[in-house]
Amino acid sequence: MADGKLTDQILNSWKVHNEINLYLIGQVPTKGFQAVPSLSKGRTVAEQLAHMNRVRLGWLAHHTTGKRPDLPKVKGSNQTRAQLKKAFTQSGEQVANFIAQSLAGKTAPRWFKRNPVRWMSYLISHESHHRGQIMLALKQNGMRMPDKVALDGLWARWF
């Protein structure tokens, strides 16, 4: 397999993952952004989404500066659907650019054994975990996503 083709496949995997997040943001009912899993003192759906984006930005800053950035806290986040979509679109592009630069040997993650695919896999795992929490919070608050959203929109995009 040619290196360029493998790079394209890796970047496409990130793109699909980010599209799934954007799709989910678009499908959450407006009142669903304040949903929290039952018996939980955890984050609202909006706070979980803000946390996911904050983690992306934090790692990107750390990889480029070696420092922990001073990013806004997520507790109490009331970002709108439009703000979250814009944030995920921008950070998704930044992550893709960093991965592409890393795969080209121009930079590397500071951790993750300096392996950009390993870092990308971490981000996908982390964000998938939070998508599950979001789906649970919505379901437990009477806003269960229809199968068309849950299966076709969130899972079948990988096929």
For position 101, what pLDDT does the model report? 93
Q: What's CA 149's distance to the chain center, in Å?
A: 17
The C-alpha atoms of residue 105 and residue 96 are separated, in whole angstroms, by: 14
For position 79, what pLDDT does the model report? 81
For position 3, what pLDDT does the model report? 61
For position 124, what pLDDT does the model report? 97
Q: Mean pLDDT for each consecutive 10-residue tract of the chain (159 residues)?
A: 78 96 95 88 90 92 80 72 94 96 86 89 96 94 89 82
**Burial of 108 from C-beta contacts in 10 A (0-12 / 13-18 / 19+):** middle
For position 74, what pLDDT does the model report? 62
Say which residue the tokens 């803000």 belong to: 50
Give me the phi and psi of 52, to 5 degrees please: -60, -45
Whether pTM exceeds 0.75:
yes
The domain segmentation of the chain, as residue ranges, is: 3-26+43-158
| Distant-in-sequence, close-in-space partners of 52: CB < 8 Å, separation ≥ 6 | 21, 88, 126, 127, 130
For position 1, what pLDDT does the model report? 46
- Give CA separation, 4 vs 7, 9, 124, 142, in Å: 5, 9, 22, 46
